[in-house]
Structure 1
Amino acid sequence: MNENYYCIIMAGGMGRRFWPYSRKQLPKQFLDFFGTGETLLRTTFDRCKGMIKPENIYISTFIDYKDLVKNIIPEIDEKQIILEEERRNTAPSLAYASHVIQKTNPDATIVVVPSDQLILNIDKFRSSILKGLDFASTSRKLINIGIKPTRPETGYGYIQIDEDEREGDFCKVKTFIEKPALEFAEVFVNSNEFYWNSGIFIWHVVTIMNAFHENMTEVCPKLECDAPDFSACPNISIDYSIMEKADNVYVQLCDFGWADIGTWQSLYEASPKDINKNVILNSNSLLYECNENIILMPKNKLVVAEGLKGYLIAEHDNVLLICKKDDQNTIRRFVNDVEMKFGEDFV
């Protein structure tokens, strides 16, 4: 394995769109969604250590989750856990993590992967990432992994490619488009010019640090130190702060069986279904005339339902949620309302 290849696993989110299964003290990256016996974080780490030396894999997470990370991945050194003292989205956390790696190895080329994604073809994933690492190590490009879309998905971001500026599987980005309406998503899929934005990034550490210095000048002094001040940083994603502004952003065109497990709907799309298109995750159930639902219940509970179509039934700890599965904004509103009325005991 190349000594200069590094990985940052992003594992600091609260996973509110997966409420009530994902909770503030135990968010989705620390849960076993698919009944495999492994958490999403552990699965991501094992996937990455097949191409990156384990000692070169760093976990970026919120300070409250340090012990969870250590328990799930006991073999990593504590210095590989990069802590955010306040949540400020992905741009500040990646700026600090990149700074930490640059101090360790100024020749590092880094792949950034979220901890909540499903990859079906592991071998193809690893070969694609290694190709991207090789390209980024010499080209000084910022690479965004793009996935060939299989359906007009409205829950993903899209990247339009510029075929006139192409180097093999790498195309210059023409534009980014966030979560389009269905009619636009259908046009994008049919055009063959658009790829799903996977949220996986590859870059040489010098390239990304230069991009931070060019586009987030005021933030760098607060993070390029041993005691970063996250509270003084803006709450902004790496997409908005860097990738949509920089002029050296390329898409690597990939197809390795990818799904972003970011919402109940995306989990539904990625999961096996019964004859009536219901997704039943590790749950006891009796369903009558029910179609296109997703059910996740405790192992000692039984759910009996009749006449439901397109619903989510999820129970965890002290909360039972029954609602339409497709509207993720509604779940955000539920969480906010619960927190305002009942405090954090149910969040």
Structure 2
Amino acid sequence: MITALIMAGGEGTRFWPLSRKDHPKQFLKLNDDQKTMLQETVERINELVPLEQIFIATNKAYQKAIKKQLDGIPEENIIVEPMKRNTAACIGLSSVMIEDKYPGSTMIVLPADHLIKDQKRFLDILRKSIMTAATGNNLVTIGIEPTHPETGYGYIHFGDKLHTIDGDQVFEVKNFTEKPDLNTAKEFLEEGTYLWNSGMFIWRLSSILSNIEIHLPEMYESLQRIKGALGTNLAEKVIRDEFENMQSVSIDYGIMEKADGIFVIPGSFGWDDLGSWPALERVKKVDADGNVVIGKHYGIDTTNSIIHSPNKVVTTIGLDDVVIVDTEDAILICDKKRAQEVKEIRNILTDEGLEDCL
């Protein structure tokens, strides 16, 4: 039995001002396809996991949008987190709820807002990950073979080879590294034993829950109380009360960096997390001047830039390596090299009380 959990509660802060609190990145059509990122994610795995076995973890603000976009997903498969508590709590809550419905299943965990070009190859790697997760308490992740020294991703340092499945190697994980500086990223690329951390995981429900019990015992106790309340009139209250008291910690830091039996399968299937505006250069048409233009733009000596303005004409003179994004109520102009800092602008707007712009 294979189940899937798609995490769709993020706000896509680095894609502001297009991505908003009430309409984040996973609900946008950033690829050339006419489907949203969330719809593409569900469709991508539907060959492997039927719709009734796909679950969506989100928050209450996005519940209606998910129902509208995914009318084939049973309503009870939308898992609503009462408040933000990071990915370990999200995955823990989802695990006990999925176990209640599909006990003994192997769960695939995926972000809702990634681009994958080669679906066939992706599903092949998923199947091999499922095979690896079937042994013991193995926790499996998919690492992306790096193509350049990226500072916006975390990295996975892999060690000895566990085995090979039809030509694909499975490695033990030595450690995880948070987003490095440029020099460190260059060293990782040259060394050849580092992969980008995709945030995709595969494990049996019993494996991840036993690891939560070992490494996050207080969270595990809360999850057991939630498990006992499922199917009763008290379920919603117990989930809210227990979730509120859970530690806010990522699954990487809370489990993956501490557990034994962590394995990674390198993948190369046209992956991109579309984490910030410069990522559009990898999925949209680039013109002769190196610009990605969505909308109308007229420029003189404007190169290597991203201009997103569907409703207004944008004119530029003498610009290089910039991002310009125009929406109904906000304009972003930034150095393309500093696009990762867009989320900090949101923090400033929050501090200034400009919540309507978020």
For the aligned residue pairs, the C-alpha RMSD in angstroms reads 1.5
**How many Å separate the matches in 2 of 1:162 and 1:314?**
42
How far 1:139 moved relative to its partner? 4.2
Question: Could you tell me which residue of structure 1 aligns to residue 162 of structure 2?
Answer: 166
Structure 1 counterpart SS, 2:217? coil
**How many Å separate the matches in 2 of 1:129 and 1:264?**
28
**How many Å separate the matches in 2 of 1:138 and 1:156?**
29
How far 1:268 moved relative to its partner? 3.5
Q: CA 1:330–1:197 in structure 2 vs 1: closer, same or farther (change >3 Å)? A: closer
Pair 1:186 & 2:186 matched:
yes
Matches within 5 A, 1:220-259: 220-224=220-224, 225=226, 226=230, 227-228=238-239, 229-259=242-272
- One-letter amino acid of the counterpart of residue 344, structure 1: E
Are the counterparts in 1 of residues 152 and 340 from structure 2 also a CA contact under 8 Å? no
How far 1:16 moved relative to its partner? 1.2
**How many Å separate the matches in 2 of 1:328 and 1:301?**
22
Pair 1:206 & 2:206 matched:
yes
Q: CA 1:277–1:139 in structure 2 vs 1: closer, same or farther (change >3 Å)? A: farther
Structure 1 counterpart SS, 2:186? helix
**How many Å separate the matches in 2 of 1:16 and 1:138?**
38
**How many Å separate the matches in 2 of 1:273 and 1:51?**
34
Structure 2 counterpart SS, 1:111? strand
**How many Å separate the matches in 1 of 2:183 and 2:282?**
19
Matches within 5 A, 1:53-202: 53-163=50-160, 165-168=161-164, 169-202=169-202
**How many Å separate the matches in 2 of 1:271 and 1:202?**
30
Structure 1 counterpart SS, 2:18? coil
Pick which of 132-141 and 315-324 moved more.
132-141
Name the TM-score, length of structure 2 as normaliser.
0.91
**Structure 1 gap ranges (5+):** none
Match of 2:299 among 271, 284, 287: 287
Pair 1:297 & 2:309 matched:
yes
- One-letter amino acid of the counterpart of residue 36, structure 1: D
Name the TM-score, length of structure 1 as normaliser.
0.94
Q: CA 1:275–1:119 in structure 2 vs 1: closer, same or farther (change >3 Å)? A: same
Deviation string for 1:109-144 (max 9, x for gaps)?
A: 111110111101111001111111122123431001
Deviation string for 1:173-198 (max 9, x for gaps)?
A: 11111111111111211221111111
How far 1:305 moved relative to its partner? 1.4
Pair 1:309 & 2:320 matched:
yes
Are the counterparts in 1 of residues 31 and 283 from structure 2 also a CA contact under 8 Å? no
**How many Å separate the matches in 1 of 2:10 and 2:270?**
23
- One-letter amino acid of the counterpart of residue 322, structure 2: Y
Match of 1:277 among 274, 280, 290: 290
Are the counterparts in 1 of residues 32 and 284 from structure 2 also a CA contact under 8 Å? no
Structure 2 counterpart SS, 1:239? helix
